[in-house]
Amino acid sequence: MDYLQGLNPEQKAAVLQIKGPVMIIAGAGSGKTRVITYRVAHLIRSGVDSFNILVLTFTNKAAKEMRERINHIVGPEAKNIWMGTFHSVFAKILRVEADKLGYPSNFTIYDTDDSKSVLRAILKEMQLDDKLYAVNFVLNRISAAKSALLTPAAYQGNPQIQAEDDSQRRPLLGKIYETYAQRCYRAGAMDFDDLLLKTNELLRDHADVRNKYQHKFKYIMVDEYQDTNHSQYSIVKRLASVNENLCVVGDDAQSIYAFRGANIQNILNFEKDYPDLKVFKLEQNYRSTQNIVNVANSIIANNKDQLKKNVFSEKDTGDKIKIMRAFSDNEEGKMVADAIMHQRSTNGLKWKDFAILYRTNAQSRSMEEALRKLNIPYKIYGGMSFYQRKEIKDMIAYFRLTFNPNDEEALKRVINYPKRGIGDTTVDRVIVAADQHQITPFEAILDAPRYVEKAPASLMAFATMIQSFQVITKTLSAYDAALHIAQHSGLLKDLYADKSVEGLNRYENIQELLNGIKEFSEREDIEEKGLDIFMQDVALLTNDDNDKNKDADTVSLMTIHSSKGLEFPQVHIVGLEENLFPSQMSLNSRSDLEEERRLFYVAITRAEYKLTISYATSRFKFGTLINCEPSRFIDEINAKYLELDFSAKPAPAASSSFGDERSAWSRKPADSFSKPKPATAPPVKTTSMLAKAHVPSAGFKPSDTSNLQVGMQVEHERFGFGKVISLEGNKPDIKATIFFKEIGQKQLLLKFAKLSIVTE
C-alpha cells in the first residue's frame, strides 16, 4: 500500500472507495490523474480482475499516461485493462459485434474530410444551394443529431426539428441526413459520431450483447465527465446499470465543450441518477501560486450553475497578475514578445516555459509577427495534423481501400492518383452504374465491361492492383505491407519525382508515416500489430496525440480550448476584450456566458507561477480598425490580486478612462460599443516578397553542412541570409530551422537545402 502514502486525505479517501457510485470533483491542478491511476491500481491490488475494469478518457495521451503509471504499480496486469478514449474502446467493441448491425468487422472510420466529401456529392446530386446548405453546417447538424441519439427516421419524424429546419429554409436536412447514413452504410463506414450512436443501438437492441458487457465491465471509471454528451452518458449509464460500480471524475468549472455537444448537466445532476452517491472534492491545487488560484476562484464565483468547492494552494503567494493595455493588436503582440524576452533573459528560463493563449485562431497573427521580429522560436498547436496532410491521406486511402474495397471515399481519392488514365467522366460512370444496380463502386469496377460504359483497361488494372494488396496484407507485417503498397501503387515514385522543396517535404512525410508504422510493428505493449489496427489507431487520434515534438524549446501558441490539460510556468492570455472574450456569440444567454467564463477559468489555471492578461483598445476587424472595450471578465477579478501596466499609450480614437476609484477601471457605456467604430490609424504598409527576391552572393557555393551548429549564419540561394535556430534528427536526415531575414522562419532538410555557411 506504499503507493497511497503520497496522497492527501481526500485523494486517499477517493482511491479507497471502490464500491458503488462515486463522483470525484477535481479542481484544476489537484492531482486528478494520480487519483484515477491509484484508484485503478488499488482495484487490482484488492482482487478485482483487470479484465473487468473499463476506464474511459478523452485523449489517447491521457490513457497512455495512466496505463504506464498503473503498470509501474501492478505490473503487466495493466495491459489487460480496457482503457482508452470513448471512440477507441467502442470501436473495438463494434469490430467484434458489427455483424449484428449489418456492418463488416473491417468497417472504415470516416474522418471529417471524408464526411464532407460524401455530403458534397449528395448536395450536388440533390442540386441544392451549397451556401444555404453549407457542408460544415450540414455536418454539424448531423453530428448534433447523432449525439442526441436521433437516427434519420427520428430526425425526420420530429415535428419540432422539422419546424426549425423549415423556418431556416432548410427543409431537406432530414433527407440529406438519411442519404448520408445510407451512403456510409453502403460503403461499410462509420464516422466518429456513429461509433457512439451504433454502440448505443447495439446495447439498446441486443440484450445478449448488453448483458455480456454489463457483466464484463464490473468497474467503470470516466475521466473528464463534464465533457460527456448525451450519447456517451447513455452508454455509460447502460453499462453500469447492473453493478453500479461507476466512478466519474471531472470539474464542472472546466466544462468548455458545449459547442461539440458536451452537456454540463451530466455532472451537475449526477446525484439524481445515483442517490447513494459518494462525493469527494479534490480542492488543493498543486500547480499554481496562491494569487493565481485566488484570481481563478474570483472569476468562477460569478457562475450560478456550479458544484461549490473551495480550491486553495499552499504554494507561495507569488506575483500579482499583470494586466497590460495596448493601443492595438500589433502593439499587444510586441508587448507580449518583449515581456517573454525579458523574463527569459532575467530568470534563466527556456522558451518552452511560456505559452500564449487566445480565444480564436485568428489572433495568432499579431503574436507571430512580434515573435518573429525578436527571433523567438514558437510553435502553433492545433494547426494541421500530420495525418491531415494530403499525401498522408492519399497513402492511408490506399490502405483503407485494401481492407475495405467498398470504401467509396477512399476509392474516389486514389483511383486516378497517381494518374493512370481514369478520368472524372469514367469515375462518374462508375458511381452512376453502382447506384443503378445497387452495388458498390468497386463491385462495378470488378465487372467493368458489364456495368461501365467505355471502361478503359486501366480501370480493371486498378481493381487487380487493389486485390493484390489484399493478398499481401495477409502474409506481410504492417510495415512490409505498407511499404509494398506505397511502392506498387506508384505514390512513392510520383512524390520522389517531384524535386521541388514542397515535393521533397511530401516525400519525407510518407517516409515518416512508414517510420511510424515500423515503430508500431515493433511495439511490445500490443498484441495485434496488423496494418488494419494501425489505421484504426490513426483514425481515432485526438488532436493532442499527433505532435511528436512536444519537448522542442519553443514558445507555445494555442487557443484556450487546445490548452486544456496543459500547464506552463508562465502564461499570457491575450485579447481580453468584449465581443472577443467573451465572444459576441456568447452574450445571448446566461449558459453561453457562463461557458465563456469557464473557458477563462481554464486559461488562468494553466499558469504555474506567472500570469499576464492583456487587451488592446483597438483592433482590425474586416479591414477596419475598431475601438475595443476591456472584457467584463477583467472587472470580475478582485483588484487586490492585480498589477496594472498601462505604459503603452492608447491610440487617440480608442482611448478609455481608468481613473475610477470604485473599480480597477471604468468603461464606456456598453451601448457606445454596440457597433464597430473606425479608429484613426496610420496607413498600412505592405511589401511584396517578389520585389525583394534574393540575389545570391558572388561566387555562391553550397557548403558542407555536416558540422552545422545552432547560431551559425547561412545563405540560401532563394531565401537569402538567415540564422540557424535549431537542429533536429539524425544524419543523414537532419532538419534545420532557420530564421531568414526577408521571409521569416523555414524548416529545411540539410541534405537538400544547399546552404552556404557565412564566415566572418
Give per-residue pLDDT as tens, 172-217: 999 999 999 999 999 999 999 999 999 999 999 999 999 999 999 9
Catalytic site residue from 165, 223, 252, 578: 223
338, 687 contact by CB (below 8 A): no
How many CB atoms sit inside 10 A of residue 707's CB?
8
Catalytic site residue from 32, 325, 619, 667: 32
pLDDT at 269: 92
The H-or-E segment that residue 722 falls in is strand 720-728
Minimum mean pLDDT range among 146-160, 179-193, 323-337, 680-694: 680-694
For the residues 616-630, what does the mean pLDDT come to? Answer: 78
Is 464 a known active-site residue?
no
The H-or-E segment that residue 119 falls in is helix 112-125
Mean pLDDT of the chain: 86
| Inter-CA distances, 189 with 366, 380, 431, Å | 42, 32, 17
pLDDT at 213: 96
Q: How far apart are CA 619 and CA 677, in angstroms?
A: 10
The reply to whether omega before 418 is within 30° of 0 (cis) is: yes
For the residues 711-726, what does the mean pLDDT come to? Answer: 86
Of residues 752, 740, 742, the one with CA closest to residue 714 = 740
pLDDT in tens, 471-488: 999 888 898 999 999 999
Catalytic site residue from 412, 413, 606, 610: 606
Is 32 a known active-site residue?
yes
How many CB atoms sit inside 10 A of residue 735's CB?
15
Catalytic site residue from 17, 33, 151, 162: 33
36, 249 contact by CB (below 8 A): yes
Is 160 a known active-site residue?
no
Model pTM score: 0.72
Q: How far apart are CA 299 and CA 303, in angstroms?
A: 8
Q: Take residue 624 and report the three cell numbers written for it.
A: 477596419
Q: How far apart are CA 373 and CA 357, in angstroms?
A: 19
Is 606 a known active-site residue?
yes
Q: How far apart are CA 462 and CA 121, in angstroms?
A: 23
What share of the chain in percent tops pLDDT 90? 56
Q: How far apart are CA 572 and CA 355, in angstroms?
A: 6
Give residue for cell 537569402.
720
Phi-psi region of 699 (alpha: psi -120 to 50; beta: other; left: phi over 0): left
Is 254 a known active-site residue?
yes
pLDDT in tens, 273-315: 999 999 999 999 999 999 999 999 999 999 998 898 999 999 9
For the residues 615-633, what does the mean pLDDT come to? Answer: 81
418, 425 contact by CB (below 8 A): no
Catalytic site residue from 224, 368, 407, 715: 224
More confident residue, 680 or 269: 269
Of residues 630, 650, 640, 649, the one with CA closest to residue 574 = 630
Q: How far apart are CA 387 and CA 396, in angstroms?
A: 9
545: Cα separation from own chain's centroid: 8
Question: Residues at the annotated binding site?
Answer: 26-33
Q: Taking 60 as the threshold, does the pLDDT of residue 659 lie above it? A: no
Catalytic site residue from 59, 254, 402, 705: 254
Q: Give the start-end residues of each E strand in 533-635.
A: 555-559, 568-573, 607-616, 618-621, 624-627
Question: Residues at the annotated binding site for ATP?
Answer: 26-33
Strand partners, 607: 568
In Å, the largest CA–CA distance within the chain is: 85
462, 420 contact by CB (below 8 A): yes
Is 223 a known active-site residue?
yes
- Alpha-helical regions (H) of 151-284: 152-156, 159-167, 173-186, 192-205, 207-216, 230-240, 265-268, 270-273
pLDDT at 592: 92
Phi-psi region of 666 (alpha: psi -120 to 50; beta: other; left: phi over 0): beta
